[in-house]
Chain A
Amino acid sequence: MIPAESAVKEADGLAFGRRVREDSGVDFNRCYQCLTCTLSCPVSFAMDYQPNQLMRMIQTGAAAEVLRSRTIWVCASCETCAARCPQGIDIPRVMDTLRQIALREKIAGREAAIPAFHLTFLKSIRRWGREYELGMVIGLKIKTRDFFNDIGLGIRMLMKGKMGLLPHRIKGAGEIQAIFRKSREVGED
């Protein structure tokens, strides 16, 4: 893993803003700080920077703070802010772009469990072609060293057949692997 410091420095400053704009296709410079996004956001209470602050930070090139923030990961992609922004700024799209940059640059941010979840989920698809919940939950628990939370719920789900014990591998699993090979822009974690 590249040390976070050097990766952030490289992505720093105004070049960072240009990159976010290019990758996302979103013009966050149109933001006039009306706060509609933040006041609409259901998870603002769990963010270290509010969505409107994040727009300003990207404009001013605060790359390191943005890419290490909890905000980019705890955003639930609920699309409420985008539906209400009077300037038509697609904030969830910007969040996706920031996540992709943070993963590509291997930046260790304040929120570890959520990016680990996304990568574990993708591994499951790569391997089976479908989501394999039990394998994913176990993989995630190993990654985050959290073994005891929700065990009771997990057992109830297994009993009700809500979580398959075994994965379903699709016939075209080879095609899925080829799709990963051809598409994947981010290296394996």
Chain B
Amino acid sequence: MKYAYYPGCSQETTSAEYNRSAVEVCRALEIELVEIPDWNCCGASSCHAVDDRLAHALVGRNLAIAEKEGTDLAVVCPACFLRLRKTRKEFRDDAALREKLPGLIDMPYSARYEVRHLLDILANTVGFEKVAEKVKKPLAGLKVVAYYGCYLVRPPEVTGIDDPENPQIMDTLLKALGADALDWRGKVECCGGSLLLTRRDIEGRLVAGICEAAREVGAEAIVTACGLCQHNLETGQPGENPLPVFYFTELMGLAYGLDARPWLRRHLVNPASLLKKHGFN
């Protein structure tokens, strides 16, 4: 199985461990993620607030490059996922954008191939049975909450890989790895996103609420599919003993017996003692 792959800026720096763990667990599942050449920033949480045409053009260049691989495009960052899917959808729905986009990016684009989140690929193409077959060390007894945040599920008509109010896809994956995925009220709450850099007061309050909801049900860690969420949750937690925050791909790697140390070493909340408690070193 082969996909064109768009890592996105954060996965090169702040959340490089997300990128690396994603590529490695995919390799274990015989999924080849082919990073598209010379991709650019998708504009993320800023460009849509400033200029529509530019937002579509920055995304369009990546879509056009990816199309040359002749496969669907796999994405891990939910914000990139939303931007890429939104431009592709508007390109298909809106004749005016169809007409002007190739000129703006100086490349042909047809919107032939889908943009898919890795979770969707694992659930609906690979299948969670196959994902479970590769487990060597089940995450038995590890109490986690699956945190979806915004863009995996909203807007439902653009990204919506699962129910927008009570998604299950990541919970099901975590259960397939043997973990105890707890039901909780914070799964689709917003972490404040890029307000981190401008209005820490707002972002901190949102993060505190999410972490409170996780503790309420007795979670030992939070699991996310987003670099910005991971960063906000790690750095914005109030109190003495912050909960570790994992990428779902890191937990897959641990359960598959891959060497997770290079990924986990980069965390700002050290998960070592929690993992030791559950027999992972």
Question: Interface of A with B (CB < 8 Å)?
Answer: 42-43, 45-46, 74, 76-80, 82-83, 90, 95-96, 99-100, 103, 113-119, 121-122, 124-125, 129-131, 133, 136-137, 140, 144, 149-150, 153, 156-157, 160-164, 168, 170-172, 175-176, 178-180, 182-186
Contact = CB atoms under 8 A, between A and B. Distances in A.
A131 B42 CA distance: 9
B95 interface: no
A96 B43 CA distance: 14
B241 interface: no
B73 interface: no
A46 B198 CA distance: 13
A156 B269 CA distance: 11
Nearest to B149: A78
Nearest to B160: A83
A121 B44 contact: yes
A96 B49 contact: yes
A163 B13 contact: yes
Contacts of A45: 205
B50 A131 contact: no
Contacts of B39: 170
A96 B150 CA distance: 17
Nearest to A102: B49
A122 B199 contact: no
Given A131-B41, A170-B39, A163 B14 contact: yes
A42 B57 contact: no
A79 B57 contact: no
Contact of B9 (A99, A130, A172, A179): A130
A115 B194 CA distance: 12
Contacts of B13: 131, 133, 161-164
